[in-house]
A and B are shown apart, each in its own frame.
Chain A
Amino acid sequence: MNLGQAIREALESVSANKLRAALTILGIVIGVAAVIAMLAVGAGAQDTILGSISGIGTNLLFVFQGNLQQDVRNEQPITMADVTAMRDEFQAPHIQEVAPIVRGTVNVSFGGESTAPEIFGVTPEFELVRNYGLIEGSFITDDNVNGLASVALLGPEVADKLFGRRELITGETIRIEGQPFRVIGVLEPKGGGSFGSQDNVILVPLTTARVRLLDRERDHVDVAYVQAINAESVPIVTEEISQILRTRHRTKLGEDDFTVYTQEDILSVAGTITNVLTIFLGGIAAISLLVGGIGIMNIMLVSVTERTKEIGLRKAVGATKKDILIQFLTESSLLSLIGGIIGIIFGWLISFAVGRIAAASGTPFTPNVSLDAILLATIFSTAVGLFFGIYPANRAANLQPVEALRYE
């Protein structure tokens, strides 16, 4: 008997008992649907979290004062001179751009409205490093920085709060900590990030922020945002920055008084967390698939008992053990394969619904039904049918024809 015939006979046999087959399949359908949906939700969550981290800017490194791992005496701050040194393309050939920043939280008001966004004192390089686009107006210029200009760029959330709109704001005068600032533009929205909203911000020239708003010492920088020329060179850039700062700060060996933090550090931590989440969800779903498999075994055992006489007859006309084994294994695999296919469709619908619910509740989040998950579910569900079919099929194959024929 070849496989095609075995499948045809299995189909005949399954369709002869439709209700029972449907109920048996149901266990697998639920199991596979759960696996698909859970993996899709897990992958979607991963995409969303990693996406929002990547949204901070590509190839980005952060350099700030202090050492997170150990206490270092006599820490020196990061200064504009350090920034200039990092911009030197001979000392640091893999650095594309460096944006020095001071930041803090301030009160901003316009008319009767007020809000407390995060403020960034920045230079023109910030636009490139952070990939900000503008809805209207123009970015902070070198002239603004040199002249301590009282100008500000609003994040879209700040614009919403103060003006209730995002356009036709340029030229208005707002008050930051009571001082008048002219609005020169509005930033495009970047979406919520894992470090608070990236849209609830206000940008002013570095010098203005340092002197008038945040009261930093001359030349000091809170953070330097460093952009590597590409993602591959991030580790090299880390090394280049460390070399420059070690020399300039005259640190002792192994006692860096600064920290270089890369996107990869953040990504790998977040990636680990979301992977655990996905495995956890998938594991729970796999248990229901297992239960479905036991259901198949149960029904196949009933089916073997019920068809003892048929097995006897088949053996009488020449079926070998292998023939009977294949017949029952094909049937159980087919049951779970059909269940698997229905389960995939069902699971896809569930993850689609989850995506819709998430979108409706304000968290944009797309469950990702990957081809991997579909293949995994198909193979796994067929394997479940095969595995749980082995015991019943073996029982059928080892029936003695005389006894099977005599069975009533």
Chain B
Amino acid sequence: MARKKDVILTNGIEKVYRMGEVEVNALCGVSVKIEKGEVVSIMGPSGSGKSTLMNIIGCLDRPSSGEYYLDNELVSNMNDDQLAVIRNRKVGFVFQNFNLLSRSSALLNVELPLRYAGVTEGRKQRAIKALESVGLGDRVNHKPTELSGGQQQRVAVARAIINNPSIIMADEPTGNLDSKSGEEIMQLLLNMNKEFGTTLIIVTHDPKISERTQRVIRLYDGLVVAQ
């Protein structure tokens, strides 16, 4: 079924939301394949189901039906705690609004996935190294409120790569940034892909971003219209 080189393989996944009496089909049988090391963007107008697909691929949510293999592992029928472990080991998230812990320093924010992974030794050094690799070696002890938007997003990127994930899920990573910082973040993400071969999936509606990815998956009304 799954080929060895596919890091992501979905097979007819559907997602049905129940809103009171009405059932809404957010995804109506989506099958996508993403190979290891690819840079892919997911595009579509709002309501097309791209956020739903991102949540499922990022293991934040489960499909109503269909199969999803991540790294040749069937994750579509795992329970909440198993998914938590998968997210911890295999997925790095970069969100539009950064989602950093505002009370904790950059270092602690980057360390967080390691803490939940149960890593006790060398956590701090690894976090510092990750921060250095995104160019924030001199901002280790700053809190998010003391950093600019671009710097905050760099912290988020450092947090995403700290556990050597199989995929980085970036949801509108440049959406809250000015064009210069956005460009820097984009460059940073592409560098990570080049340097470590990490699969990069960017959800966006900005054509300038999608132009720079190798492949675009377009969604419309819960269906894949191009990939």
Which residues from chain A sit less than 8 Å from chain B, CB to CB?
1-2, 5, 12-13, 16, 309-310, 312-323, 400-402, 405
Contacts and interface: CB of A to CB of B under 8 A. Distances in A.
Given A1-B116, A310-B101, A318 B85 contact: yes
Contact of B88 (A2, A317, A322): A317
Contacts of B84: 315, 318-321
Contacts, number: 62
Q: Is the interface of A mostly helix, strand, loop or mixed?
A: helix
A316 B115 contact: no
A317 B95 contact: no
Interface in B137-196: 159, 163
Contacts of A400: 61
A2 B115 CA distance: 9
B113 interface: yes
17 contacts: A1-B115, A1-B116, A12-B103, A12-B104, A13-B103, A313-B99, A313-B101, A315-B60, A316-B58, A317-B87, A317-B93, A317-B112, A317-B113, A319-B116, A320-B84, A321-B81, A322-B81
B65 interface: no
Contacts of A313: 99-101
A13 B108 CA distance: 13
B126 interface: no
Interface residues of B, number: 27
Contact of B159 (A2, A315, A317): A317
B93 A316 contact: yes
Contacts of A13: 103
- Residue with the greatest number of chain A CB neighbours at <10 A, chosen from B99, B117, B163: B99
Nearest to A406: B51
A318 B103 contact: no
Contact of A320 (B58, B81, B159): B81
Contacts of A315: 60, 84, 87
B112 A405 contact: no
A352 B157 CA distance: 58
A12 B88 CA distance: 23
Contacts of A316: 58, 60, 87, 93, 99
A303 B89 CA distance: 28
Interface string B58-76: 1011000000000000000
- Residue with the greatest number of chain A CB neighbours at <10 A, chosen from B88, B115, B117: B115
B117 A318 contact: yes
A12 B89 CA distance: 26
A402 B60 contact: yes
A105 to B, nearest CB: 77
B95 A405 contact: yes
Nearest to A400: B61
Interface string B90-124: 00010100011101100000001101111010000
